[in-house]
């Protein structure tokens, strides 16, 4: 049998991916250069959990953990992003992804999970976690595009306000959160949706993955479509008896938190890893943030941003 190995485009992690062709069959070889426990063991543990709950995810074929490699099933080459990007009517397709989020939130995720001899622990999405992520905005994004000797002081002031905002989250951390649920992490094969890049899963707020999908920096959705999708989630989820404003509150707080983090991650990918292709998303990321900052919960934070930072100037930065 002929074997062919071809490197395929990766993601923002430390992993490398190869498509292995064996005759007419294909599989994916994953190599983890760093953080190999999370990128291999945790990844497969989460995939096993997803499969148990009838959510299509890669399955383990062979495990060569000692050599930083594993082989998994191939979910195909077409992402939801490539499916949806040129479609005019996107609502029906996006509804399928909302339904996947709802299935994720019905998972009964144990804090401790065993994969063979390995033990995987799932954390709670605490305020400490939220700050660790939004700190990327200060430590990477602002550091490289906002030259000021007062940056440390500005960070402390804004962080204190963010703490007040994070404490206003209504929902408890009690559902499965994929943590990177966006259009490029959904694969489409024969009308079947498969979920990848699941190694960062956590026990968290039900609105986090909803914000990841609807306020995805990789695709510009009109505000009326965003609202329709949010309303669809509200009606179909197990939280439909909750007050609408409580869901919207958490959705908008977590959208801002996530997109502040993304600004930092994309600059870090450039500065640390030499990956510049994510910079094109920076202006739209700011647009999403500013849309959600209209929520009154951000009133003081908004004033601080205007006082200490030139947001319009930052939005225009594409090359640092």
Q: Where would I find the beta strands (DSSP E) of 147-190?
A: 175-177, 186-189
Look at residue 320 and tell me if it is in a domain: no
pLDDT score of 312: 63
DSSP string, 84-152: HTT-S--HHHHHHHHHHHHHHHT----SEEEETTEEEEPPB--HHHHHHHHHHIIIIIIHHH---TTHH
pLDDT score of 10: 64
pLDDT score of 175: 96
**Same domain (yes/no): 212, 141:** yes
CATH of the domain at 154: 3.90.1200.10
Q: Which residues of the chain have pLDDT under 50?
A: 319
Query: What distances in angstroms separate CA 226 from CA 150, 232, 244, 259, one per listed residue?
Result: 37, 10, 15, 16
Q: Pick from 73, 93, 118: which residue ends a domain? A: 73
pLDDT score of 145: 80
Q: Is 221 helix (H, G, I), strand (E, B) or coil?
A: coil
The pLDDT tens digits of the residues spanning 97-144 come to: 999 999 999 999 888 999 889 999 999 999 999 999 999 999 999 988
pLDDT score of 161: 97
Q: Pick from 28, 57, 73: which residue ends a domain? A: 73
C-beta separation of 31 from 68 below 8 A = yes
**Same domain (yes/no): 57, 116:** no
**Same domain (yes/no): 309, 189:** yes
**Same domain (yes/no): 113, 95:** yes
């Amino acid at each position: 049998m002929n074997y062919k190995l071809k490197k395929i485009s990766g993601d923002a992690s430390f992993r490398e991916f190869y498509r292995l062709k064996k005759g007419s069959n294909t599989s994916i070889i994953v190599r983890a250069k760093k953080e190999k426990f999370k990128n291999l063991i945790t990844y497969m543990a989460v995939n096993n959990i997803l499969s148990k709950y009838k959510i299509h995810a890669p399955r383990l074929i062979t495990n060569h953990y000692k050599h930083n490699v594993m082989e998994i099933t191939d979910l195909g080459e077409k992402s939801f992003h490539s499916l949806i990007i040129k479609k005019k009517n996107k609502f029906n397709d996006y509804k399928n992804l909302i339904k996947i989020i709802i299935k994720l939130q019905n998972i009964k995720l144990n804090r401790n999970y065993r994969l063979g001899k390995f033990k995987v622990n799932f954390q709670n999405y605490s305020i400490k976690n939220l700050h660790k992520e939004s700190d990327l905005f200060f430590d990477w994004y602002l550091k490289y595009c906002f030259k000021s000797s007062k940056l440390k002081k500005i960070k402390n002031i804004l962080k204190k306000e963010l703490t007040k905002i994070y404490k206003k989250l209504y929902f408890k951390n009690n559902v499965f959160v994929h943590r990177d649920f966006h259009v490029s992490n959904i694969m489409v094969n024969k009308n079947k949706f498969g979920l990848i890049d699941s190694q960062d899963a956590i026990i968290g707020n039900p609105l986090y993955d909803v914000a990841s999908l609807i306020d995805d920096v990789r695709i510009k959705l009109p505000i009326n479509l965003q609202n329709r999708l949010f309303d669809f989630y509200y009606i179909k989820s197990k939280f439909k008896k909750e007050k609408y404003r409580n869901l919207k509150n958490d959705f908008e707080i977590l959208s801002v938190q996530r997109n502040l983090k993304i600004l930092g991650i994309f600059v870090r990918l450039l500065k640390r890893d030499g990956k510049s292709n994510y910079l094109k998303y920076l202006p739209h990321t700011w647009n999403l943030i500013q849309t959600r900052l209209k929520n009154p919960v951000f009133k003081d934070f908004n004033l601080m941003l205007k006082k200490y930072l030139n947001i319009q100037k930052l939005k225009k930065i594409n090359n640092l």
